[in-house]
A and B are shown apart, each in its own frame.
Chain A
Amino acid sequence: MNDMIHVSSSPHVRSRMTTGRLMHLVIIALLPTTIFGIYNFGAKAAVVLLSTIISSVLTEYIYQRAMKKTVTISDGSALLTGLLLGLNLPSTAPWWVGVLGGVFAILVVKQVFGGLGQNFMNPALGARCFLLISFTSIMTNFPQIGDSAATPLAALKAGEAVNTRDMLLGFTSGTIGETSTIALLVGAIILLWFEVIDIVIPGLYILTFLIFIVIFGGHGLDPTYITAQLCGGGLMLGAWFMATDYVTSPITPKGRIIYGVMLGVLTGLFRIFGSSAEGVSYAIIISNVFVPLIEKYTIPRAFGYRKGGKKS
């Protein structure tokens, strides 16, 4: 018999799912909106996406080599961060803004805090907010699509009419990846089908937001207004692809519920009562910061215990 027989603790089987596979599934789910974004905004969009992706992956590679850590760019997480960041930028952004964003996302938001799994904030969104504050005019300079250069949400806020059919399909202005609700929903279905994400956080996020705007939006149940709010801005991209980021969302079942509701309320607050038309990015990164606190108060009750820790 083989002297090199393996001995380890049980279980001796593992599921086929791996971190890399999860990341690749998310990237695949983002492809419809990526392709649509390039179609809608032209080659400039591809340049922006390439700048963020290449800078993110390279930053991770160089940092890990310099720090003599295992290089983990093959797990796809840096690529995903770069892609998400690119989809959150306007196609008119110059390439160096994309590079700066990629470096910031990986170096400052992710690696400095310990790398994959340790960052307290979504790297792509952290970088987006950094760019939004540093280069406000570049970041809010959206290209002309159809008749208007204004994003549908800005138009809505200004009291102008919006075309909800174009918003559903995505023929509007905005960041590269946020315009087509249909393409984003195709991605969401891919994520749900392969059980990459759970419906709790995005479902409650969208539902809470919907209730919030019906109550406080000032338009009641007006279907055009509701559709425009749901399809406009970064809500769909944020809810399905960034609020569901594992690392920065709560792990406890009750925590996921609170987190989803909190996102919906914050987004509603920012969009309706804030000075800007958009609020998804800020809602998500602010909620990210609350995750440890949420988890602390939502420790799940173990099986066989009743409320208050009493035996059943």
Chain B
Amino acid sequence: MGIRGSVFAFYSLQAERKIAMRLVTFKGGVHPPDGKHWAKDVPIKPVLPKGDLAFLLSQHIGAPAKPLVAAGDRVLKGQKIAEAGGFVSSPVFSSVSGTVKGIEKRFNAIGTRGDAIIVENDGQYEEVDYPEVRPIDEMTKEEIIKTIADAGVVGMGGAGFPTHVKLSPKEPDKIEYIIANCAECEPYITTDYRRMLENPEKLIAGLKVVLKLFDNAKGILAVENNKRDCIEKLEELTRNMQRIEVVALKTKYPQGAERSLIYATTGRTINSTMLPADAGCIVDNVETLIAIDNAVNNGRPVTERSMTVTGRAIKNPGNFLVPIGMNQSELIEICGGFKEEPEKIISGGPMMGFALFTTDIPTTKTSSCLLCRVHDIISERPASACINCGRCVDVCPSFLVPSYLADFAEHRQAGEFEKWHGLECVECGCCSYTCPAKRPLKQDIASYKKDVMAMIRERKAKEAKQADEAAAKKEGGADK
């Protein structure tokens, strides 16, 4: 941090003393322009789909869901149309009533195609009879986790990791912190912000459900300091709750990244080989906790989620409660279409989101934002030579040397890449953001990381095979 940083830090410290709260943070990170003003003050509005709905079978990390319906079947809203394909998997529910047209390939946000159940909407929104809700105090921990799993709850912040898996650590007694990730550090996205303002009681109820599962845990609502109104609201609501605390985070990207968040709130550190549970933590996003509340306290499965549609190109940016499966082109129509021709459309935020080549993609459990930008700055600034300035090193939250890792990636030097801890990259993009030579560092590192990980898996498999063979030989020798 230079002089300017210190001066600014001093003044902001003076300003922050007023709220009498300790701000916690991590080392590294960047301050991209936040762009939240576009949609921040627009309340979440429920929307209804017009066209067909497409329910991707793989909306989560793990095995794809297995379809339970076939072409011609009539389905109701809230009906399970695909079941979990394993333990690390999650079921899918219809968000409308209508007729199944079949299973077709559909593009997802990352540009690959996956199987999706296509449902023709009859506009009736006829619902299934939801199972009777039992008071949470009468349920066992296993029943609560099963309810969450059966409702199709996954990490809705973007990762899509099945929540019931996260809630089933090996040693539940060692979980000491349940961290509600209310950071929303990605620029432009305002869904969590609106959720905290409009449904704070649901968020807290969701957190309480998770606390119910872990007797030794304390709940932390970790909110970035640029959302003071949310901090105040949550503090007011949790004032008399012994087990829940509101923590203000310094506004900095990637404050909401799991490893950064755990470090900021608890001072504990984890690396790529560990799970948050290894540090006694479980981290869940706002939307996920609300889904947990819906599942356990209302008996409702995941059929909708809040989403931000924003950017300079959008006529009326806003936040919406979007049925899962709804075509995202319809969302743009609902916002009044484009005010200006978009040059780039992103699913998610500008730091980690995916650029789309079409908006003809279905909404999934992990869709958080549709960002339509008029200018694509990337195409205007071609990469030039690295001048070794070290800015990427200063901002890397994993303490890596991104410029060298990108160089190793370019020259396919797997050994060096591993030696300089390339596998620890969290792909936050701070290095690419800050690079004065505009080098696509994150892109180079992230793509090569996958290759190196595959190589390591191969190497380990080979070693295991050799060890097995050696053991078999030895046994055979002993028999003789």
Binding site for B on A (CB under 8 A): 1-2, 5-15, 17-19, 21-22, 72, 75, 77, 115-118, 189, 192-195, 197-199, 246-247, 249, 251-253, 256, 299-305, 311-312
Contact = CB atoms under 8 A, between A and B. Distances in A.
Can you list the 9 inter-chain pairs with the closest CB atoms, starting with the nearest? A304-B271, A11-B429, A9-B443, A302-B421, A302-B424, A117-B385, A195-B2, A246-B389, A6-B376
| Most B Cβ at <10 Å: residue of A11, A251, A256, A300 | A11
**By DSSP majority rule, is chain B's interface helix, strand, loop, or mixed?**
loop
Contacts of A249: 388
A189 B436 CA distance: 21
B387 interface: yes
B386 interface: yes
Contacts, number: 190
Interface string B444-455: 001000000000
B351 A10 contact: yes
B378 interface: yes
Task: Report, as a range, how many residues of chain B touch the other chain.
Answer: 35 or more
Given A15-B436, A115-B385, A5 B4 contact: no
B2 A199 contact: yes
A302 B434 CA distance: 19
A303 B259 contact: yes
B393 A302 contact: no
B259 A246 contact: no
A256 B394 CA distance: 12
A77 to B, nearest CB: 8
A311 B424 CA distance: 12
A249 B5 CA distance: 23
Given A11-B429, A15-B436, A300-B400, A116 B442 contact: no
A6 B350 contact: no
B388 A247 contact: yes
Contacts of A299: 401, 419-421
B3 A10 contact: no
Contacts of A2: 341-343
A172 B399 CA distance: 45
A193 B4 CA distance: 5
Contacts of A256: 390
B436 A21 contact: yes
Contacts of A253: 393
A7 B355 CA distance: 5
Contacts of B373: 12
A117 B387 contact: yes
Contact of B442 (A11, A18, A75): A11
Given A9-B442, A13-B187, A312 B353 contact: no
Contacts of B343: 2, 5-6
A203 to B, nearest CB: 12
Contact of A6 (B30, B344, B404): B344
A6 B397 contact: no
Nearest to A70: B384
A143 B67 CA distance: 89
A197 B376 CA distance: 29
B62 interface: no
A197 B33 CA distance: 23
B33 to A, nearest CB: 7
Contacts of B386: 117
A312 B51 CA distance: 51
A119 to B, nearest CB: 10
Contacts of B348: 10
B274 interface: yes
Contacts of B385: 19, 72, 115-118
A75 B386 CA distance: 13
B342 A300 contact: no
A117 B388 contact: yes
A19 B436 contact: yes
